[in-house]
Structure 1
Amino acid sequence: MKVTDPSTGSVELLVTGVSTAELISSRAIAGLIGELRSEMTARKTSFESSERRVQRR
């Protein structure tokens, strides 16, 4: 699965090896979307934290 920023076209998240066999209900799909959102938030927070440390140097 690839999530891109529509304004820049840059890849925000790339996840491979996701099995779609279990995505048979709207609840399962919503769960996957929730996991992807959490992952994107965690990566953004980690990136911003790293960026602040670099700027302080």
Structure 2
Amino acid sequence: MAGCEQAALASYWMDHRPEAFRGFHVASGAPSGYAARLDLRERDAGVDRGVDAMW
């Protein structure tokens, strides 16, 4: 999957499930990453091929 496609999927999920995301920061406070824990639903099929593969 290309970087642009990954960014589009991250944006989609952040728009639709913002509560699923957590940001991580280093001691200085600078951002260092994020993680998402998505509670997938049947209606999510067809949006993300990773979801489709797991469904």
Q: Could you state the TM-score of these two structures normalised by the residue count of structure 2?
A: 0.27
Larger Rg: 1
Higher strand share: 2
Q: Could you state the TM-score of these two structures normalised by the residue count of structure 1?
A: 0.26
Higher helix share: 1
